[in-house]
Amino acid sequence: MDKEPYSSAMRTLPLEERPRERLKRLGAEALTDAELIAVLFRTGTRKQGAVALAQHVVSHFGGLRALARASILEIQEAPGLGEVKAIEIKAALELGKRLAMYSDVNRPRIKSAEDVANLLMIPFKDSETEEFKSVLLNTKNEVLRTVDVSKGGLDATMALPRDVFRQAIREGAHGVIICHNHPSGDPEPSRDDIALTQRLRDAAELLGFRLLDHIIFGDNRYVSLKERNLF
Report the candidate in 194, 202, 183, 204 with the shortest Cα–Cα distance to residue 226.
194
Indicate whether 213 pLDDT > 90.
yes
Q: What is the pLDDT of residues 132-174, one digit of tens each?
A: 999 999 999 999 989 988 887 544 445 677 888 888 888 889 9
% of the chain at pLDDT higher than 90: 32
- Give ∠ CA 227-230-231 in degrees, rounded to 5: 105
% of the chain at pLDDT higher than 70: 87
Mean pLDDT estimate for the chain:
84
Indicate whether 25 pLDDT > 90.
no
Residue 28: pLDDT band by 50, 70, 90 thresholds?
confident
Residue 107: pLDDT band by 50, 70, 90 thresholds?
confident
CATH of 8-101 given 1.10.3470.10, 1.10.569.10, 3.40.50.150, 1.10.150.20: 1.10.150.20
Residue 204 and residue 171 in contact, taking contact as beta carbons nearer than 8 Å = no
Residue 3: pLDDT band by 50, 70, 90 thresholds?
very low
CB atoms within 10 A of CB 123: 15
Residue 14: pLDDT band by 50, 70, 90 thresholds?
low
Rounded CA gap, 82 and 65, in Å? 20
Question: What's at 75, amino acid-wise?
Answer: I
Distances (CA, A) of 118 to 97, 145, 174, 229: 34, 15, 21, 21
Pick 106 or 105 by higher pLDDT: 106
Residue 203 and residue 168 in contact, taking contact as beta carbons nearer than 8 Å = no
- Map out the domains of the chain as residue ranges: 8-101, 113-224
Rounded CA gap, 182 and 195, in Å? 16
Annotation: CATH topology of 113-224 = Cytidine Deaminase; domain 2 (3.40.140)
pTM for the full model? 0.56
Q: What mean pLDDT do residues 60-76 have? A: 88
Report the candidate in 178, 222, 218 with the shortest Cα–Cα distance to residue 198.
178
Residue 7: pLDDT band by 50, 70, 90 thresholds?
very low
